[in-house]
Structure 1
Amino acid sequence: MSERHYVYVLRCADDTYYTGYTTDPERRVAEHNAGDGAKYTRGRTPAELVYTESFAEKGAALSREHEVKSLSRAEKERLVDED
């Protein structure tokens, strides 16, 4: 079985959104909340996983991550609310 690739969105404690890529969303959220994630999320914990998308290929996930990161806050809110 091939590995899945995920784009995820966190809602940080300061009510901002963080978008990232991983192969294991639960592990990655735990890393963020332990202070071992991205520099952006340090000091903004706890962070809550509010959205994921799954892909078979890493390239597709990374392209989608870039798209989601470029969305406005309002667009990210709509994306999260759809899920």
Structure 2
Amino acid sequence: MKGWMYILLYSDDSYYTGSTNNLQRRILQHQKGEGANHTCKRLPLKLIYYEEYEQVYFAFYREKQIQGWSRKKKEALINGVPELLPKLAIAYRDVRNNLD
């Protein structure tokens, strides 16, 4: 069964990363405020990025990967500049290490 990983932009400028086996239905659920608590408090929303996979578990894996990313790294993906991802990952790791 196909799957999608998607990123939504909410009215408060926050991102939501999710995965589903039916992208259209899931976006409609988000627009109705159903599902995640993050959703109903931040409407309206806009679908700004998605990836399609042959199996939904690949989309779920990708969702979990991206949920751990910094905002700048997510924006590099959304804006189509994947060459920035390694540099941003190192910068994010350095910042986190300095907080410990």
Q: Under a length normalisation based on structure 1, what TM-score does the superposition of the two structures give? A: 0.89
Greater RCO structure (CA 8 Å; 6+ sep): 1
1: CA distance, partners of 2:6 / 2:19: 6
1: CA distance, partners of 2:43 / 2:22: 19
Q: Is the 8 A contact 2:2 2:52 kept in 1?
A: yes
**Could you say what the CA RMSD is over the residues aligned between the two structures, in angstroms?**
1.4
Q: Is 1:67 aligned to 2:72, yes or no? A: no
2: CA distance, partners of 1:45 / 1:37: 13
Q: Is the 8 A contact 2:3 2:57 kept in 1?
A: no
SS in 2 for 1:71: coil
Structure 1 gap segments, 5+ residues each: none
SS in 2 for 1:59: helix
Q: Is the 8 A contact 2:20 2:56 kept in 1?
A: no
2: CA distance, partners of 1:63 / 1:46: 26
Which residue of structure 2 aligns with residue 23 of structure 1?
21
By how many angstroms is 1:59 displaced? 2.1
Which residue of structure 1 aligns with residue 46 of structure 2?
48
1:18 partner amino acid: Y
Structure number with higher helix proportion:
2
What are the within-5 Å matches in structure 2 for residues 24-39 of structure 1?
Answer: 24-39=22-37
By how many angstroms is 1:58 displaced? 2.3
Instruction: Detail structure 1 runs of 4+ shifted over 6 Å in the superposition.
Output: none
Alignment counterpart, residue 76 of structure 1, candidates 64, 71, 74: 74
